[in-house]
Amino acid sequence: MEKGITQLYILIAKVTGLMNLQKNYSLKYLNTFGVDVIAKYFLEIHSEKELDEFIQSDLRKNEQLLIIGGGSNILFTRDYDGVVLKFSKKGISVIEQKEDFVLIESSAGELWDDLVKYTVRNKLYGIENLSLIPGSVGAAPIQNIGAYGTELKDVLHSVEYYDLDDGSLKNLSNAQCNFGYRNSIFKNELKNKFIITKVILKLSLVKKFNLSYKSLSDELKNTPEHELTIETVSEAVRNIRRSKLPDPDLLGNAGSFFKNPEMDNETFQLFINKFPDAIYFEQSDNTYKISAGWLIEKCGYKGKRIGNVGAYEKQALIITNYGGATGNEILEYAEKIISDVKNNFGIELNSEVNIIQ
């Protein structure tokens, strides 16, 4: 049987010219929810040359395409009838250094946390608050990842991407990425038209930290200022995340399932008068984020399990697969949460997770 499958793969590769191509491939270990779905084709590529070969192939012309990174922000509710492509090229290097900053370039296939560890080792300040975030470097700009008072947009210099329409490599500056809260041009104007190949960050050589986020400042409150290092800040973030978030290798999840809803000042004042114990975050533009975790917990979901799906016992914002749940079961659970939050608070929650339906 294995010989027959191998011969089939070789035949597909010869026909398409894509030697890494696999057919009817399980994606269970390529998404952190651990949902077992099948891709009609799966292709992992490690260079721009291989990417060119795929773009010019009949497979690209005839099949729908889905790009994945670390699979940490995706929910499959069905098998994927097309090509799932993973760009896995790695490499991190300093491309420019000035007196007080450096530009570092990372290939999209690097794990995000490996890049953070590199910057911590080399005392390059700016992304230590983003320690232990799962996923790939290439996925980070799409989502404008953020945590503990820092967002990628704060340090991103530019993005190189492969244009799927004309087959060229292009660059976008920070401003051109149109970053917003868990949003970017890649989710909007360029949706389904790109593959990110490189990310360039501008990091500081001058020691400075962002400790504005309460849980982070609380974690470090007993550390004297003169003893603060990039290592201690990064480790503090890791400790917080480990204490609140489940390890996806042990319990399937995609981190925060929902965005924190945003309100203008007038709407917020009406809301907080009605719910004075709500957890919220004031932003620099006089708008407010309401804690989605608080809303969900108040609706009784924290630790609540339905079948193989539940809201994590330590953080209601995280929906977990306790083993064997289908994508549709996870989605149904999420939809129950959305409905109950809407009925109780008049607020519509929006998913952070990319749902494939």
- H or E element at residue 25: strand 22-26
Question: Whose CA is closest to 196, among 238, 234, 152, 154?
Answer: 152
Which residues are tagged catalytic? Answer: 182, 256, 352
Strands 65-68 and 74-76, sheet pairing = unpaired
* Token output for 275: 């719910």
Contact 339, 285 (CB under 8 A): no
Distance CA 143, CA 174 (A): 14
Task: Say if residue 238 is exposed, middle or buried (CB neighbours under 10 Å; 0-12, 13-18, 19+).
Answer: middle
- The helix/strand count (H/E) of the chain reads as 10, 20
DSSP structure string for 171-229: EEETGGG--BTTB-GGGTTTTTSEEEEEEEEEEESS------SHHHHHHTTTS-GGG--
